Structure formats: structure tokens, C-alpha cells
Amino acid sequence: MPQEILQSWHAYYTRYSASEKGVAILVKRTERFILKSQEIDRNGRYVIVQCNLRGQDYTLVSVYNHQEDTTTLDLLIPYLQRMTVGTLVIGGDFNTTFSKNDRAKRILSSNEFVNPQLLPIDQPNRQHVKLRKCVERLMRHLQLVDVFRRKHGYARNDDACFTFMRCDRTAQNFEEFQDTIIKSRLDYFFIPEEWMCSVKKCEVVNVFEYPGRAVRPLTEQGRQPATRSDHSPLLLQLDLNSPVIRHIEIKESSNLHAPQQVNDSEHISGVEIVAAIQSVQLRDINRPGVYPFVYKNFNDEVIKILKDNYTNQISNALPRDFNSATVTADGYYFFNVDYLILATILAWRIEDWGGESETQIEDGPQTVQWLHLHNCLLVKLEGHPAFSDFAILEQMLKENENNEKMLCEGCPLTHILRKCILEYQTIQRIG
């Protein structure tokens, strides 16, 4: 690390022999900053810094996921589930894309005087598909959000989306050439769902500017000139001073109560409950229901009570205030923890049934009629042995004044239900 950087920044970084690996976390020395712990990978793959910054706790993670690496993210999951303190922010180069809108190409030739249109690339990159599954597991087990896409939409596909560029030149001679510029979105910020309402800005800082018709001059080896990074920076700006964010007073008591009557047929397994509890990342705010720490320090008795409660509720009816939530002025919902656990389990069941969907992720509806949603689920979950369990969604989803079911920001079911609706619409158009 250059000495001029160390003079102005607190620097936590990996040391590795290969130039293609290495990550760092830098904090200005002028900031109110207290380091609590640091984890630095010897293989140059990640740095984790737990700290207090401007009076708030953070767990900051910088990752480089090599294009052949399918183990690092799985290694981080159990650590971050147990050890995360405060606001979790994960950023880095993940060497994968999520949809065709994350890749594009532009072809320039010596005869072109203006940049031609940016064209989508429909053929998937095999390596991207392989690594995408690793990133999706990370997102699932920590309930993370792709901040850029959630902020700007899933259908956006322009120059301002991409963080990496590769330029391949085909030259007939020195004066006649054709450049194929491949652009990809390989760099991401991920934060837990409940922090999304605090995102002020997430955008790519474009360092690949091409004045006029020409790209930057290539070296004799046909590559772009070396810089400190061949990726454009991705900027994330958070505002954690929202009035809805208030630290709760930790109490030793629990509102957990065993049910009066338990159905013999268990609709929810203890395995599902433990996995869901481990995955949720919750803000310390005043919210209805049991305090989050009661579940994070779970034991056999807590799991048994939850399992019996959920089974009884699915068999009969939910309590009237089961979907209660704290709502922000801009319409973001912080649900009670019992709700989040059950919603997470049902979302996973929908996601896991029927294999991987070919429907591209895009922006979906905010509300839906229950009958239409029920038909969407019938198609998505065709043949599911426990389809009747999903009838509870009619009670779980909040309802607006028009008797439409609301797909609320902050609910673990929202993303997968929107995807089901879009898949159903696609089937209807084709059929």
C-alpha cells in the first residue's frame, strides 16, 4: 500500500503475489472511527472490518471472487450470519452477471464517426452462470439486496450500468480496424433488505470515456493501458439518520408463548426455521412483536414453540396483528420477526420448486388481486405436495383500500411473488 495513502487513510488490505487478486477497505483518518476487529484473508479474497463509524456500528466486507472460485462466498456465509454487528455492507468484484441486461456490446470501426447503439448479448457466459449460483446463495442466506438494480430497476441496460469493459480489436492494417467492446456489470454492493430504505445513491463512476468515435489507444499487445483497476468504481451512499431508526432497549423477557393446541401434521420444519433465523438481518428499530435478539440466541425450546405456532396458524388462522409492521414515510415496511421468519420460509419454498426460471428479472407490480396471484402460484407450484400451505398468503399479505394485495418493500415474499406474476404473464402471452 503506497505511503501517501496510509498517511490519510486507515487501510485494511490483503497481501497477495498475483496482481489479479487483492481487496482493501479504506476509512479516512478524519472520520470518527473505532476499529473493533478485522479479518484479512491470506489468499487475497476478502477483508472484513467491524467498526464504529460516526457513532454507528458497521460490518464492512470487501470481496474479490475470482472467476474460478466457487468456495469463498460459501465460507463467508456462516461467519457473517453469526458475527455481523450493525449495518452489513458487502461490496466487490463478483465476476458474474444476473441477467442479459448486465452485459452488452458495442462495435466500432475506423469508418464510424459516431458511437453505434449498445447491443444486448443474449448468449450467457458459462462462467458467469457458474459463479452466479454462489452469489445467489450468499444473497439468500443473508437476505441481501442487489442495491444498484433495486435502486435503478432490473430492465435498465445502458452505459451507466456497467463496471467492466473489454476491448477486442480486429485490424486489417494500421488504419483499418474494428473494435468490439464488451461491457459487463461485475461489481456489486449488497446490503440486507431492511437497509434498502436508507440508500441515497448507488451509481457507477464511469472511467471508460470515449471522446468522439475512438476508444482510448491500445497498447502494442492490443490491451487498454494499465491503470490501478480495469473496473469502474461503484459508489454507494447511505443515510442512516432517518427518524424511523431508533435503537431499542434490550429486554430479557420474551413474548413467545406455546400454543394452546397443536396440530399433529407439522407444516414447518425446525430445519427451515433455524435456516431462516440465521438468514435474517434486522435493524435495531421499534417494531411489533418479539425482540430480534430472542431468536438470534435461539435454543431447542424456542424452535419447538415457533414450529408449533406456525403449524397451528397455517392449519387454522393467523393472529389479527401477524402482519403488523413499522412503516416509513416513503412506504418501507419493517415487519415483526415472526412474520419475517415465516415469509422467508415460504419464499424459499416457492423459489426452490420447479427448477431455475428462464424469466428475466425485471420490475414487477406493487399490488395484485388475490385470485390472480393464486392462479400464478398454481402454475408456478404445479405438483407441489404441500400447495395448501400457501393459502396462508391471503392472510399474510397486507391489503389496500381497493382490496388488492400489497407487495410491500421489506417483505421477503415480494421479490419472488413479482417474479411468479411475470412468469405467468409470459406463459399467457405465449399460450
The answer to whether 339 touches 392, Cβ cutoff 8 Å, is no
Helices (H), 194-331: 270-279, 292-296, 300-315
pLDDT at 243 over 60: no
Domain boundaries, the chain: 65-238, 270-430
Instruction: Provide the whole-model pTM.
Output: 0.80
Kindly indicate the confidence band of residue 231, based on its pLDDT and cuts at 50, 70 and 90.
Answer: confident
First to last CA, the chain: 59
For residues 29 and 63, give the distance between their C-alpha atoms in angstroms, rounded to a whole number: 22
pLDDT digits (tens, 9 = 90+) for 88-117: 999 999 999 998 888 888 776 655 544 566
For residues 408 and 193, give the distance between their C-alpha atoms in angstroms, rounded to a whole number: 12
Looking at domain 65-238, which CATH architecture does it have? 4-Layer Sandwich (3.60)
Instruction: Give residue 118's pLDDT.
Output: 72
Kindly indicate the confidence band of residue 19, based on its pLDDT and cuts at 50, 70 and 90.
Answer: low
Sheet strands (E) in 280-371:
325-327, 333-335, 367-368
Higher pLDDT, 328 or 118: 328
Strand 87-93 relative to strand 56-64, pairing:
parallel
pLDDT digits (tens, 9 = 90+) for 146-169: 999 999 988 888 888 999 988 776
pLDDT digits (tens, 9 = 90+) for 352-374: 886 555 555 556 789 999 999 99
- Between helix 72-83 and helix 270-279 the angle, nearest 10°, is 90
Higher pLDDT, 372 or 249: 372
Per-residue pLDDT, averaged over 197-221, amounts to: 61
Instruction: Give residue 174's pLDDT.
Output: 54
